[in-house]
Amino acid sequence: MSQGIFGIIDFRNAIADRDVLGNAMAAYLKMSGSGEFSVSTGLGHLIGMRRSAADSPSRQTRIEHDPDAGLAAVIHGEVNNYRELLSQHPPSGRPCCGDLDLVLRMYRRSGASFARSINGLFTIGILDEREKTFRLMNDRFGLAHQLYWTVADGRLIFATHLKTLLACPGVRRELDHEGLNLFLKYAYITSPWSILKGINKLPPGHMLTFRDGKAEVAPYWQFDAVTRPGMTMEEAIPAYRDLLRGAIARRMGSDGSTGVMLSGGLDSSANAALAASCSSTPVKTFAIGFEDPRFDERPFARIVAKHFGTDHHEYTITGREIDDLPSLVWHLEEPYFEFGLFLTYMGLKSASGHVQAVIGGEGADQMYGTGGFAGGRPAAVHYLFRKSGMIGPARTVSSLLRGPLFYDRDNLGFQLRLFWNRAADLNDWYFYGYDGHELSQLYRNGNLARVPRIFGEPAGSPESFAQVYLETQIEQDMRHYVNENVMVKSGRMADMLGLVLRESFLDADVADFLVSLPMPVKRGGGLVDHLRGRFKSKLLHRKAMEGILPPEIMSKPKQGGFVPVMIFLNDPALRKRIYEKLLRSEVMGEYFRTDYLRTLFEKYESFQQGAVGWPNFLNSKANRILFLLTFDIWHHCYLANDPLGVTPPSLNEYLG
């Protein structure tokens, strides 16, 4: 049920066979899309869009044109502050027709800088024939869809779906090993890389400007790290409540067709509470749980649902959902297997038959700063390494933590390596995938094992721990984990299921406010407290929700947020079939060492014999197997075959 945009731009040479090219690139959206489809063509352009009206009368479903100014615009996503912008830019002549009409009016008045004022999740394309320029811009958090683009012979080709881009004649399909290695290490591929050579992704908060046969990409927006040192907790609480309530109200719609994902945690419970206050009818809520009570938050979700009188729905993940993996990979379009994938997928799937749009709580943790995970301790130790000039020696120590003691045993040595690596280098923050040492052993050709460094080197000695914490929050938590991972996962799954995704904590006003607050308002405890693990997280959020949420929610510790991945490999017979499939796979044999794969599988079988000490140990080992399976499936769908000619099989069918 996909929606999206696409196009070909060539101001220097007329585009021949525009109808043929248009039909080729439109094939996927016409095949699986929802909403109205429109195309605009001219000598030097071909642009297309598929968009549904959903529950918003301001959502235009056709390409907007301004022939007098030589302008045309396409959009994927939503403008959440349409009414506010309309009041700031009242029409001087005819009434405004909707969000795309408003976009062109703002562009005429302010130029490309207008994008900074939009509050929403969007990708917008503007054709300016007078200037012979085409611009593409992503919202600050990266919409549901990453925007793929390439320039071939001075011609820009772009699309929100890789399948659409690949349908254009002349676009190459060649594996990019740096992109693959980013996936194998981090579970996703960060922009500007993609899984294919020569195909780029437009980063969140960036604008692509195409003129004279060349594309230039630059940020049009960046997080403002200037804090409000004078704001007290007492001042912040009412301001925050009003901002979050406003964000929910903008996303609720007016006909009861918007639901809320409800895990039972503090963030989603706040969404449910504020949504209930904005609605005259019971809000539909959706919860996902597990048979294992260690990971199951549904009892808390039920408390919230009862307290606010929601129309509540639940689903239990058993592990059998892994049978849908090929379909998910086909829709994700690049190799991706983050541990929350099936949690998000099943949550949205349970909502898809009941509502048109869902409000999620993505990004809340990161807006308050996780500090490199592990309770912020890695950030605290990282600060000490930098302050003392010991980053270099710390990384030398990392290179010495090798061997079975640090990689293959569920012990303190394994946890020490993970913690030390996180503290010494932000590029090693994620441990569920293969690190550089493992990749060098996995590849037949070690020269292919290079992983791009997505975080730059720290500059000089930091002034304070608070400064390092803010840098970590912005660079690691938000720009990468939220923008390049979480939003891609949630957005692609929503698109797959025909839902509109709306995120309250990623509202521009809420985000700007939270980033600007001094650390003591958001998080309690200084350097020593973080080193000792005695900090208090989400101070403002907790204070603001006092008297609103039930006491059971206010006092519960953080529990869920991800799926225990090892449940997908609980079945010994399924594991055996996966091993056999990967060992006979041509692409596995082409790039990876068969003896390494055999050892990997044998070790995982040995882990099944003993008790699980730290669940994340087994989780990380299961991920490594599922990463390889995901890549094998992706290769089958996108390189070995034409993705538009592939009907995704079940995993059972794929394994043969």
pLDDT for 189-231, tens place per residue? 999 999 999 999 999 999 999 999 999 999 998 876 566 777 8
Fold of 4-219: Glutamine Phosphoribosylpyrophosphate, subunit 1, domain 1 (3.60.20)
List of E strands, 357-439: 357-360
Residues comprising the chain, all counted: 656
pLDDT of residue 533: 81
CA 362 remoteness from chain centre: 9
List of E strands, 253-392: 258-261, 284-290, 311-317, 357-360
Judge whether 317 is annotated as a binding position.
no
Separation between Cα atoms, residue 146 and residue 222, nearest integer Å: 18
Half-sphere exposure of 160 (CA within 13 A, CB side): 32
Q: Tell me, what DSSP letter sits at residue 111? A: G
Separation between Cα atoms, residue 177 and residue 264, nearest integer Å: 40
CB atoms within 10 A of CB 520: 15
Element (H or E) spanning 138, and its range?
strand 133-138
In 3D, which of 62, 202, 48 has the Cα closest to residue 136?
Answer: 202
CB atoms within 10 A of CB 404: 10
pLDDT of residue 52: 85
Domain 237-369+475-507+550-555 CATH (choose: 3.40.50.620, 3.30.70.60, 1.20.1430.10, 1.10.287.610) = 3.40.50.620
Residue written as token pair 């945009």: 5
Where, residue-wise, is CATH 3.60.20.10 in the chain?
4-219
Instruction: Please tell me whether residue 512 adopts helix, strand or coil conformation.
Output: helix
Separation between Cα atoms, residue 509 and residue 499, nearest integer Å: 24
Q: Which residues have C-beta within 8 Å of that of residue 16, sequence separation ≥ 6? A: none
| Winning range, highest mean pLDDT, from 21-25, 451-455, 464-468, 594-598 | 594-598
Judge whether 553 is annotated as a binding position.
no
pLDDT of residue 303: 98
Separation between Cα atoms, residue 563 and residue 568, nearest integer Å: 10
In 3D, which of 454, 429, 570, 514 has the Cα closest to residue 181?
Answer: 454
pLDDT of residue 209: 98
In 3D, which of 188, 170, 166, 169 has the Cα closest to residue 179?
Answer: 188
pTM over 0.85: yes
Q: φ, ψ for residue 60 (rounded to 5)?
A: -80, 140
Query: β-strand 155-159 against 4-9: which pairing, if any?
Result: antiparallel
Residue 15, strand partner residues:
none
pLDDT of residue 371 exceeding 60, the answer is: no
Provide the residue type at 399 as one letter. Answer: S
Instruction: Please tell me whether residue 360 adopts helix, strand or coil conformation.
Output: strand
pLDDT of residue 317 exceeding 60, the answer is: yes
Separation between Cα atoms, residue 616 and residue 413, nearest integer Å: 14
Where, residue-wise, is CATH 3.40.50.620 in the chain?
237-369+475-507+550-555
pLDDT tens digit string along 416-426? 999 999 999 98
Residue 360, strand partner residues:
503
